[in-house]
Amino acid sequence: MEGAIVPRVEDEFIEYVPQKKRRGRATSIVWEHFDKLKDEVENVWKTQCKHCKQIYSSAQKNGTSHLKRHMDRCPIIRASGLTLPMMSTPAVSDGLIGYESSNKRSRSISKVWEDFEKLKAERDDILKARCIHCKQILSGASKHGTSHLKRHLERCPKRRNHEVRQLLLSSEVRSIKQLFSSNEALADGGTSMKKCAIDQNEILKAISAFILCGQHSVTVVEELGFRHMMGIVCPEFENVNSHAIRREILSSYLKERDCVKELLGRIPGRICLTCENWSSEYSKDGYMCITAHFIDNDWKLVKKIIHFKPLVTPVGGILNADEIALCLSMWNIDTKIFSITSSNASYDDSFVNTLKGCLLAKKNLLIGGAFFQVRSCSQILNLIIKATLNLVDDVVDKIRSGVEHIRKFTSRKKKFYMIASKDFQLDTTKRLRPDVCYRWNTTYLMLERALYYKSMLQYWGEHDSSFIYYNLSAEEWEKVAIIQKFLAVFYDVECTFSATKHPTSNLYFRALWKVHMHLLKSVRGSFTFVTRMVTDMQEKFEKYWIKHNLILSCAAVLDPRYKVKFVEFCYTKIYGDKAEESVNTTVRTLYGLFDEYKPNSVISSSGSRTSAVPVVAEHDNADGDEFEDYEQFLSRKSRPQDEKSQLDLYLEEPGHDLNSDINVLEYWNNSSMRYPELAMMARDILTIPLSSVSPESSCSMLNLGQSSLNPKLIQALVCLSDWTYQALEKSSSASLSIIHENGDPSASDEENDLDDWDIDEGTFS
C-alpha cells in the first residue's frame, strides 16, 4: 500500500517512521503588537502599531521585517521596557538545543532526537527511544517529554568519548592524531566519527612519551589525579599500573635502540664522543654517560645518548676503558670513532689513554689519534668565573638582597621606578634583575643592572631606613664595576655558544682566543685586588690552550670566514714573531689528515682528478749507465704546477667576510660536490664537541622515583627520553611546542613586572 509504514524488526522493536505532515505557514509574533486596517480609498490593507499608532504597509510581499525594526525603536515600547520575542528562540541546555515558539506555531522538534532513534514496540504499540551511541532504550512517548533523554546524553560515556575524538581531530592538533585515533577512522579524512576506535597500545605509547619527556615517575599512572584525567579524556581507556609502563618503556627502548644503531651505521662520517660523570642528587649514585655526536646525511649536527650506567670503581681505571670499548663494540661504531671529550680531571686521562691505545692497535684512529683526546673548555671557563665572583662574594650578597628587598612589594617597586624615571631620567624598561645563584650569567646580568641603577640605589639607601643594610660603599661599587667589566668577555663567549643549540667546533677558536687575550691584558692591569687571581687563572688557561690550540686552529681554518690568515693573525697577537711555527704546525696537520681521507688525491686546474703513479722500471739496463733513467724518475715523481689538491684550492679561494653570518655546515654541504674528500674531513673535525657539559646538566636527569629503579631500566629511561625528546621536537616544531625549557626566572627584563606597566601610556599606573 502506498504511503504505508514498513516495520523493521530489531530486538522486539520496529523502527518507527512517521509520515511527514504538511504544516501551514506560521504566524509572526509581531502581529500581537499591530492591528490590521483596510484603506477604503486605496482598497489595500495597512498595519497600525498598537502603542504609538504609526501606520505601515501590510502587503504580504513586504514581509514583517519593517515591523520588527519599528518595534526596536518605538518610543512607547522602549519606555515601557517591552522586548520583542523572535520567531523561534533557541533554548540552550548543556549543549542540547531545543526551540521555543509561540502558541500559534506548530511544535518544533527537539534537537535531542539527533542522538536518538525512534522504535515502536510490537506488543503494546508504545513508542521507545534508543540512544545511537550506547544503544540504551528509553521511553519515547510524547507525554514524557525529552528531559530524561537530555539527562541521559549528559552522562552517556559513549557520547562524551565521541566529542573528545571530534576535538582531537580538529585542525589545531591534527599533527598528533595518530597517537590517539586509529588509521581506520582517518581513512576518509577523519570525517567518519562512528568508525573511530580507541587504540590502547597507542595511548600507552603516548603516556610513556609523557613520562619520558617530563621526567615523571613511572608510578604517576597509579595516582588518582592521573586516572581521573584519563577517565574524562578517554573513558574507554583501561587503567594501567606502573609495571605495564615499565614493560612498555623497555620494549620501546629495545626497538628504538635498533633504529639508532642502524642510523649510526648509515652516517657517512665519523662519530665524536663525550664522556660525562653524573651524580644523582637523591641516591648519590654515580653514572657514566656517553653521548655520540655526528653529522647526519642532511648535514645536521645530532647527538644521541648511547650509554648510561653506574660508574665502575675505581673511577678512571682500566675497567672504565674496557666498559667504553665494550659499549662501542655493541653499537658497532668502534671503527668510526674520531674523538672523545672528557672532563679535566686527572683520572680521566688514565682510561682515555688506555682506550686510545686499544683503538690505535686496531688502526681505528686517524693521524695517530692526534684529535682523539679533548678536554672540556667549559670547565676551565667556569673555574675562572667562580674564582672571580668569590672576590666580591659579600658585595654580590648585598646586591642580591637589595634587589629582593625592592621587588618584594608592588607599591615599593612602583615608587622606586617612578623616582628613577622622573628624577634620574633612567630608562625604567630595563628592570632590576634577580639571579639564580648557581647560574653565573644571571649573576652577571644582576650586577650589570645594579650598576645601571647605581645612583638610584644610593638615593634609595639614603631615604629608606630599611635599605641601609644593602647600601654599598664607594669602594664596593668600584669593585662591582671592575668585576662586571672583567666578566663581560666571558658573557659574550657564553652568548656565542648558546646562540646555536649544537655549536660546531669552528666557533671555539675565536671565542677562546678572546678569553686568552683578555687574561693577558688583565694580568698587566692596574687593579691589584684581581691581579693575583687572574695570574693563577691565566696559568691554568695557558695549559689548556697549549694542549688544544691545534684542534681549535684546524677547525677554524675550515671556516670559510677565517682560514689560515685569521689563525696567523691571532697567533701573532699572542706569540709575536714565534707565531709562524704554530701556523705551520696547523697547516701540516691539516694536510697530513687530508692525505688519510684521500691519499695522493689531486685535482688539476681543469677539474679532473689524478693520482701519483708508482715507479716501475720498464727495462733492466745492467750494462748501461745506472742513472740513465733518473730524469724519467723525476718526471714521474714531480707534480705539475697546475695540479692542486682540494685543500689547496679551498685555501686559495677568497674567504668570506670576517663578521658575516653563515652556516658552516650548510657551506660544506653545498661544497661537497667540488671538494668531496675535503668535505668529509670537515664533517668530522666540525663535529668535535669542545665542551662535555650539555644544557641539561643544570638539573638532575633522574628524579626521586627514577633513582630507585634497577640500572637496566634507568638506562632505558635516560636513553629513550633523549631519543623521544628529539623525535617529538622535530615532528612538532611546526604545530605544537612540546619542549620544556629549564629557563631562569629572570629570562626576560620585564616579564615579571608587566602587570605594573600601562602599555597605552608607557608609564607605571
Confidence of residue 497 (pLDDT cuts 50, 70, 90): confident
pTM: 0.66
pLDDT of residue 693: 56
The arithmetic mean of pLDDT across residues 529-557, rounded, is: 91
> pLDDT for 245-277, tens place per residue?
888 888 889 999 999 999 999 999 999 999 888
The arithmetic mean of pLDDT across residues 330-334, rounded, is: 93
Strands, E assignment, 50-109: 55-57, 89-93, 96-100
- Among 735, 702, 764, CA closest to 428: 764
pLDDT of residue 525: 75
> pLDDT for 471-491, tens place per residue?
899 999 999 999 999 999 999
Pair 511, 690: CB distance under 8 Å: no
The arithmetic mean of pLDDT across residues 443-461, rounded, is: 93
User: Greatest CA span in the chain, whole angstroms?
Assistant: 149
Sign of CA dihedral 651, 653, 658, 664: negative
Confidence of residue 740 (pLDDT cuts 50, 70, 90): very low
- Among 638, 597, 593, CA closest to 615: 638
> Whose grid coordinates read 533554548?
91
> pLDDT for 234-246, tens place per residue?
887 778 888 888 8
Q: Determine the Cα–Cα distance for residues 296 and 348; give it in Å rounded to an integer.
A: 29
Instruction: Give the least confident one: 49-58, 428-437, 652-661.
Output: 49-58
Pair 601, 620: CB distance under 8 Å: no
Cα angle, residue 733 at apex, residues 731 and 736 outer, rounded to 5°: 95
Collapsing DSSP to helix, strand or coil, 7 comes out as: coil
Sign of CA dihedral 311, 312, 318, 319: negative
Q: Is the pLDDT of residue 520 over 60?
A: yes
Q: Is the pLDDT of residue 89 over 60?
A: no
Q: Could you tell me which residues come within 8 angstroms of residue 320 by beta carbon, excluding any fewer than 6 positions away? A: 288, 311, 312, 351
Pair 637, 586: CB distance under 8 Å: no
Pair 324, 351: CB distance under 8 Å: yes
With a pLDDT cut of 70, the percent of the chain lying above it is: 72
The arithmetic mean of pLDDT across residues 29-56, rounded, is: 80
Confidence of residue 281 (pLDDT cuts 50, 70, 90): low
Q: List the grid coordinates of 344.
A: 679535566
Confidence of residue 607 (pLDDT cuts 50, 70, 90): very low
pLDDT of residue 589: 93
Q: Determine the Cα–Cα distance for residues 397 and 707; give it in Å rounded to an integer.
A: 34
Instruction: Give the least confident one: 193-202, 281-290, 526-535.
Output: 193-202
Task: Sort strands 96-100 and 116-121 into parallel, antiparallel or unpaired.
Answer: unpaired
Confidence of residue 83 (pLDDT cuts 50, 70, 90): low
Q: Determine the Cα–Cα distance for residues 130 and 127; give it in Å rounded to an integer.
A: 10
What order of strands is seen across the sheet that includes strand 137-139?
9-10, 13-15, 116-121, 127-131, 137-139
Mean pLDDT of the chain: 76
Pair 461, 468: CB distance under 8 Å: yes
Q: Determine the Cα–Cα distance for residues 352 and 358; give it in Å rounded to an integer.
A: 10
Q: Determine the Cα–Cα distance for residues 300 and 134; give it in Å rounded to an integer.
A: 51
pLDDT of residue 179: 39
> What are the backbone angles phi and psi of residue 749, rounded to the nearest 5°?
-65, -40
For the chain, the structural domain boundaries read 9-22+88-155, 29-80, 271-376+692-711, 500-611+639-687
Q: Determine the Cα–Cα distance for residues 373 and 273; give it in Å rounded to an integer.
A: 10
Q: Residue 276 forms beta bridges with which residues? A: 289
pLDDT of residue 200: 78
The arithmetic mean of pLDDT across residues 418-430, rounded, is: 92
Collapsing DSSP to helix, strand or coil, 384 comes out as: helix
> pLDDT for 655-692, tens place per residue?
899 888 899 999 999 999 999 999 999 999 999 998 87
Q: Is the pLDDT of residue 144 over 80?
A: no
> pLDDT for 615-667, tens place per residue?
333 344 444 555 555 555 555 444 444 578 899 999 999 989 988 889 999 99
pLDDT of residue 600: 46
Q: Which fold has domain 271-376+692-711?
A: Nucleotidyltransferase; domain 5 (3.30.420)
Q: Which amino acid is at 618?
A: E
Most confident of 155-169, 340-354, 414-428, 707-721: 414-428
Q: Determine the Cα–Cα distance for residues 248 and 463; give it in Å rounded to an integer.
A: 64
Q: Is the pLDDT of residue 63 over 90?
A: no
- Among 260, 316, 261, CA closest to 288: 316
Q: Determine the Cα–Cα distance for residues 583 and 553; give it in Å rounded to an integer.
A: 8
With a pLDDT cut of 90, the percent of the chain lying above it is: 33
Pair 338, 551: CB distance under 8 Å: no
* Number of residues written out for the chain: 765
pLDDT of residue 706: 62
